[in-house]
Amino acid sequence: MDNYKYKKFKNLIFNTILALLCAQLATAQETQEIQIANEYLLRGEKNKALAAFQQLSKNPQNASSIHTSYFNLMIELGNFKQAEDYIEKLIRREDRLNYRLDLGILYLRSGDVTKADKYLKALIKTNADDAYKAKTISDYLASRNLVDYSIFALQQSRVAANNPHAFALELANLYRIQGKRDEMVGEYLDYVTQTPTNSGYIKNLMQLLLTKPEELESLENLLTDRVQKNQDSEVYSDLLIWTNLQSKNFYGAFIQARAYDKRFRKEQSKTLEIAQIALNNKDYKNADRAFLYVIREFVNTPNFLPAQLGLIKTREAQIKNSFPVNKDSVRYLIREFAQFRSRYPDHPSSFDARLSEALLHAYYLNELDSSVVVLNRLIADLKAPGQLRNQSKVELGDIYLLKEEPWEATLLYSQVEKSQRETPLGYEAKLRNAKLSYYKGDFKLAQEHLDILKQATTREIANDALDLSMRIKENTAFDSTGAGLKEFAAIELLLAQNKMPEALMRLEKFQPKKNAWLTTTELSELNFKGKILQTKDGLSLVEIVDAKLASTIQDDVYWLEANIRMKQGQFDQAIALLEKIVKEYPEEILTDDAVFLQADIYERHLKNKDKAMEIYRDFLNKYPGSVYAAEARKRFRNLRGDFAEEKPIVN
């Protein structure tokens, strides 16, 4: 390279570097000025911010960095003409969709609604055939709280694409924002017809969004109409069944499930599923009729035997919940289970029947040795499912507790804990061990178990653990020895051992006590007339009733005695004890339980429909957040006749 060319190349490199440095310096300066403008805005110095942004807007490269803040500031200050000139200049320089949308938004904000409406709708229609642009427009307008135009954009895209189901989820969300419940639900239903595999997702959404009875009733009416118009739509029928279950209308769910089974004839009966749910929710009447339907219509299918066993279990539950329990009915049940086993000895359900038999022998006929024999054979039978054999171990532990052999019980619980670690059954076994420690008065060990169980994945176990943990903490706060709680736990142990008369006798004279050494003078001053346990060196060890201790656990005492009275058929006494909880402990956690149980007794046992309705109505007004609220609402509606069988149902 000659000297001239070398100098020319050198100058080119130098000028390029110089230009880059100048550009960087200019960019840095612009960035600093943008920061200053934003700082003015943050401090509320709007006029200074406006002037700074106006100067920055002269450089086209700043547009993307300052546009939103500058545009909004001009609108906020009412500088509509300045904003319009700025936007139109931007559009001439760079025709971007968001700039055009901002022009329509400017017309709206300036008060020219007619012009804005005409402009925005024309812009939306122009871009309607491009789904991406339509979605972009909708999102942009929704972010500026222009939900009506956002919806219009998606609707126009539907028309252009000739697809009435396009953007269903997006429209559902927009209708939700507007509070248009029926339109929202309609879009969700349109969506799920196109993607039936996502019905679980839609159910979860509607469960979160539709919480009021009238909302579920509206959904039921909408689905009923769609099922009538779309007889072959499996997804609508399934959702209608689900909606009835959310309302705890098990009769309606049964009728819809029966229609579903007739129409679609699936391998797994929907009616069998509803029967089991009704049984779990103690709606024995509808569980009974649903199981009977499956037995009649699904002969020689995998649904037949579970339905037969389910029917026996339904009648078992009815007998167990009819107080006092009739022993002749229990023996009849045992024969039913035995006949089932003899007919189907190799079917997995026969093992369930054997377990049920064993528990009936133990808890209702007090034939403990017979129960132990059956359970031991079940545990040793390698043909039995592993889960059921472990469940049998837990149940056998309970029987040993009845036999007053707690060490055998804890051994079995611990075996299941170890083999079923981190499973619901393992947690259940740990809970039984915690209760065993509680019964024995070892509250510290019980609390260690309960602290783990409060994190259990099964909600019922976690709640039981939390309730027992709270009882221990509340009743050992004032007395570290837990004297009153020990007496109460001992009574609960008697109940666990099915020694109801002994438990009731101790409950009737229950008074939490503590021991204290007192001098002769102190005895005289207290005018003490209680029990003296021991005397030594001029001191007397006396047993003192502690009113503070009594107050912390007395509601539990009432609750326990009320349940015993109820099981003995002494319903008036049970109601009186529950009323004591309501009046004396209105703020305690057992209060809503007590009110609900009163209503339950009037409804199921005393057959006093009007009184039960009155209590359920009051319950819903006073305890809307109770865990029993949904059940109380369902029972009230049922007693009122909302779920009457003559009500028109889709077939």
One-letter amino acid at 466 equals: L
> CA-CA distance, 443 to 600, in Å (whole number)?
33
The answer to whether 491 and 481 have CB atoms below 8 angstroms apart is no
> CA-CA distance, 498 to 510, in Å (whole number)?
19
Q: Which residues contact 427 (CB under 8 A, 6 or more apart)?
A: 453, 456, 457, 458, 461
The answer to whether 294 and 329 have CB atoms below 8 angstroms apart is no
Q: Look up tokens 């927009």; give the residue.
A: 174
Q: What pLDDT was estimated at residue 216?
A: 87
**Edge-to-edge strand order for the sheet containing 539-545?**
513-519, 539-545, 531-536
Chain centre distance of CA 385: 30
* First and final C-alpha spacing in the chain: 96
- Average pLDDT per 10 consecutive residues for the chain, totaling 651 residues: 56 52 48 79 83 84 82 89 91 90 93 94 95 95 94 95 93 93 91 90 90 85 90 92 92 95 93 96 94 95 93 93 89 94 88 94 92 95 93 96 93 95 92 93 91 80 88 75 83 88 84 68 61 73 61 84 91 94 89 95 93 94 89 88 56 38
The answer to whether 390 and 361 have CB atoms below 8 angstroms apart is no
One-letter amino acid at 66 equals: I
Q: What pLDDT was estimated at residue 538?
A: 73
> How, if at all, do strands 531-536 and 513-519 pair?
unpaired
> CA-CA distance, 154 to 81, in Å (whole number)?
31
379-383 CB contacts, 8 Å cutoff, 24+ apart: 381/351, 383/346, 383/351
